[in-house]
Structure 1
């Protein structure tokens, strides 16, 4: 493993210029890099951008990074020598970051180089397994017909479920922030209820997107309706919905660590682990 920094860092003042130069590289590992497109959307919406740049070696991009609105450095996958170059650049420019997020190997390596060890990052981070599935893998499903788009009239139920979802998440999610995301999903027509025999059994939707994929988000079944197959039907229905929109793939994040995983049984493929680690 190389211990020497290699490559050259190119930073971009304009986010659109960054994506024009970088998107082809990010698409090579689109599932792992899916958060880049969401950060782009948020930055353009808010009009406030942070640092964004690439590490080049022999004229090719080997690592990408950008600072998110929350102050974390989002990384792509990349070799150690490129991460070493980026760490040296960030320290020389006194880049202010609260932590690092991205593929586990990149994050762990960056933290080790930044602080001297992975353990010295301080705060306990988040960790999710990334799953993907081709929308062509599942046959056309009548379950998509059982999903109804959520309207304002269903908001009281959705609000209660969202708050319960936030409490049950590991680590817990800030309820107000999640409610804002849920409202946006509803407004965009990306939030759905699963109904069986007229009874609402769960909710789920699409939280963000990449050029070829939709990210499934907020899959929730209330406690009294669990272990009845509703989550599997909900996810299958969402994949079918995505296929109807001519989307190639679906992506989802899971913090489940048990031996038996619903997503594996539905045909999802494990892409890799996505982590977030905060600095002291």
Structure 2
């Protein structure tokens, strides 16, 4: 495929989960006209869709701009008017990574929609109570935010929802490998699966159970001819099988020690930055990759 140290207890830089996105800045520059009900057809019922809160940005004294992954409408930004008031109808529902049913008034000529209500179905407080779980979940949420389309994409939404549920309830010892699998599965569902059985440059079949010359820049494994002169990471057969299992949705999960887990985190982060990030900052991915909450 070719496409173009924090101390212990530090929370990952995703609390607002939106400070590094360009979209909220553009939205805030044009927010004034959205605070008025003019332009919204209040006579029409809102559109309802399953949704996950991927980020929130305070606006003014009483409102929030929320970034939503929706099952039926793709990634959307919406104004939750009055969300910060003590008796807001939103209550505590607009928490990072919580899931529910969003009621949206849509106007397709605008970047910012109006969130009329959010019926909470899962607060996912178990993620916030544990840094390894939260780190993996926030990394997955950041990938969904940055790279999911602005139109309906049920497969990526369902994977995101399932990943958050699994990470909240999985045994502690499984969090590392589950996070890796869910991240690889998400980029694959979005159309960026790495080439592991054929050369990413010329399509030459790559023999199984042999070392894999993996190029993040080229999008996967390279044959011996194409690997010459390219920066590659050579994966031993056992590491190649582990990567194949992570990308698969059905293979048995591999077992890692910390050294191998760190290598696989770095490999995924390099792949992501080459093919999707386009040089943009990804603080949640960086925090997850470096395990910044672990004392050195």
TM-score w.r.t. length of structure 2: 0.29
Larger RCO (CA under 8 A, 6+ residues apart): 1
| Bigger strand fraction | 1
TM-score, normalised via structure 1 length: 0.31
